A and B are shown apart, each in its own frame.
Chain A
Amino acid sequence: MILNGRGVWLVALGAVVCGLAAGCEETNPQVLFSRCRYAECEQVLRPQIPDAKHKDYALVSLQYSSAALEAGDLATAAGTIAKAEAAMNEIEGGGDTAAVVVAESLKTYRGDPYEKGMAHLYSGFLALQREDHENALAAFRRALIADQDTRTENPDQKQDFVAAHYFAGLAYHLLDENENAHVHLEQASRYTAPNAMLTLGAVSTANTFLLITSGYGPFKIASGPGGSIAAISKPPDPVTQVRLECDGSPLGDAAFLDDLLTQAAAQGLGEMDKIRIAKGVSKEVLAQVPYASLFSSAIHAEADVRVWSFLPGRLYVWAGRLEPGLHTLALRCSGPDAGQAAACDQVWFYVPVKAEKLNFLNFRLAPFRQDVTDKVLVPVTALPEKKGK
């Protein structure tokens, strides 16, 4: 068959498109993270971390640390989270005046209470993995203090960060302070469904602790007058229950700890919110007044919608005793839509359980994780060491 002139053009066009496509790599970290290409996301984000004085330094660092954590690069995650924590906990500076007078987005990102709480929680979990029990406890206590910043009239919502209570209780137990451990585990049980795993007895006999997360954390939308109200929502999460199996034997369900949307939504109205809403109302009123629309356009009332978007939506924990050695661990997910939940199922081969120490592992549930083939996953820590290095 001989191609006519039109056919030649079509073939040439096809070749050009294929060539372009081959050279196009995904570089959007949001897309990479959502497709569970965590290592690539980490690579893309690393050069994007700005100077420590930049207003988004803490935010980009947190995004980077999430990618590093899920990619198994725990040392990088721990170091980056520590720097982000320090930036989030600063008191002075931060573009306070500019944020109040001009636009809130000018302020240095320091996160909402639930974001600070999660940064401290991850910091503590990574410290537990390093067997640094004192600093782990310090981090979990910081997470509980961050929860106290929740601007709500309900005192219960200032102390309902279940995951922080649970792990603080665990850390106290590891430091032989069982009375304090009991207090925190009681608090954890108070704010979630009853579960035998959240008791001192269960914690003291376990040698393996699994932190399981699913879905994605809250996001904000500027709404209301002049966009001054930050409405909070989160993407749908098909998983509401996680059942575990080890080498084909059932281990029971993971205990549900927290829904970050619940944590985020318990915000109340702070001083900055009131200032912003007043500016928003003024902006809209002035826009209706003849000759005053110029003043209206000079008012910036938009809410700051920056969030740590790589956070999970729900947190679970499983604690129990596993025999030392390598195991096949299956996480079976269920929810209101069985099909969508089952898409988040994971099977991990060669999961190491060490004899001489406690084991802390984290798993991120996501539909059809694309860093694996046929849902066969191998934790980075279980990979054989490369020879010759």
Chain B
Amino acid sequence: MLGNRLVLTQGLLVASLAVLLMGCTGTVTRRPVDDEMIKTTNATEVDQRSMCEKMARSLIDLPQIANARTPPTIAFIEMSNRTTQAVDSYNLLSSIRMKLLEYGEGKFVFLDRERVGRLQQERRLKRTGEVTTSGARNLYGADFFLSGRAFSEERRDGRNREVYYRYSFTLTDAETSAIVWERDYEFKKAGTVGTAFR
């Protein structure tokens, strides 16, 4: 009887230890894209995704895009950073452009203006017969220019941190310079610093 009790106690101890140790080991899990495990007051891809979804829907509803016979062409020419985050502006621009294409339902087309030089070289090779071609076509001109600016303002009061973000976008008619669409997307991130850091 005593021996059984001893074995049972030892077994419980070992099992408890095993459970505790499992909690100390590193783990890797797959998480949904919109699930943020690490909380930060920085603007993240989750914030960008939400903004781009709204932006794409707004652009699609624009009469110049909704009523166009063929998808209008847009050159995303600038995304300037006036936030307090260290940001690679080109990465930010290409990330937003990619999400707009994803949510745009094919209603507009972006032009790859960064590669125009390379494209013109390829076209020359095709025209001279050095490489094969499936037929000559013109490079697309831009119907619209899209430009953006990211801005943030941070407020601190004691342990509280609040960061306000505003992403402003402008769509300009490339022929007439008329601003046909302009939107601000705003959001706030807030956090409280621990007592030990105040």
Contacts and interface: CB of A to CB of B under 8 A. Distances in A.
Interface of A: 82, 85, 90-92, 94-96, 99-100, 104, 107, 110, 123, 127, 134-135, 137-139, 141-142, 145, 148-149, 151, 270-272, 275
Contacts of B194: 91, 94, 96, 99
Given A92-B39, A148-B156, A271 B84 contact: no
Interface in B157-173: 159, 161
Interface of B: 38-41, 80-87, 89, 154, 156, 159, 161, 191-198
A145 B83 CA distance: 12
A135 B197 CA distance: 26
A145 B196 contact: no
A100 B38 CA distance: 23
Contact of B81 (A94, A100, A135): A135
Contact of A91 (B39, B80, B86, B87): B39
9 contacts: A82-B86, A91-B41, A91-B192, A92-B38, A96-B195, A107-B196, A134-B87, A137-B82, A149-B156
A263 to B, nearest CB: 16
A141 B156 contact: no
Nearest to B83: A138
B154 A145 contact: yes
| Residue in B39, B40, B80, B86 with the greatest tally of chain A CB atoms within 10 Å | B86
**Interface pairs A-B: 9 shortest CB-CB:** A96-B194, A99-B196, A91-B191, A270-B198, A134-B81, A271-B198, A96-B196, A107-B196, A141-B84
B82 A134 contact: yes
A123 B41 CA distance: 20
Contacts of A141: 84
Contact of B198 (A135, A138, A139, A272): A272
A280 to B, nearest CB: 16
A127 B39 CA distance: 27
Nearest to A143: B84
A85 B154 CA distance: 16
A100 to B, nearest CB: 5
A85 B40 CA distance: 13
A46 to B, nearest CB: 23
A238 B193 CA distance: 38
Contacts of B38: 92
Given A123-B86, A138-B83, A148-B156, A94 B39 contact: no
Given A96-B197, A134-B80, A142-B84, 16 more contacts: A90-B40, A91-B39, A91-B192, A92-B39, A94-B194, A110-B197, A135-B87, A138-B81, A138-B87, A145-B154, A145-B156, A151-B198, A270-B198, A271-B159, A271-B198, A272-B196
Contacts of A110: 197
Contacts of B82: 134, 137-138
B198 A94 contact: no
Nearest to A144: B84
A107 B197 contact: yes
| Residue in A85, A91, A135, A138 with the greatest tally of chain B CB atoms within 10 Å | A91
A94 to B, nearest CB: 6
A100 B196 contact: yes
| Residue in B83, B159, B191 with the greatest tally of chain A CB atoms within 10 Å | B83
Contacts of B81: 134-135, 138
A275 B84 contact: no
Nearest to A139: B86
A121 to B, nearest CB: 13
A127 B81 CA distance: 14
Contacts of A90: 40
Nearest to A140: B84
Contacts of B196: 94-96, 99-100, 104, 107, 272
A148 B84 CA distance: 14
Nearest to A135: B86
Contacts of B159: 271
Nearest to B196: A99
Nearest to B39: A92
A271 B156 contact: no
A211 B2 CA distance: 78
Contact of B86 (A95, A100, A138, A275): A138
Contacts of B156: 145, 148-149
| Residue in B41, B156, B191 with the greatest tally of chain A CB atoms within 10 Å | B156
Contacts of B80: 134
| Residue in B193, B194, B195 with the greatest tally of chain A CB atoms within 10 Å | B194
A51 B156 CA distance: 29
Contacts of B198: 151, 270-272
Contacts of A145: 84, 154, 156
| Residue in A95, A107, A138, A148 with the greatest tally of chain B CB atoms within 10 Å | A138
A208 B119 CA distance: 39
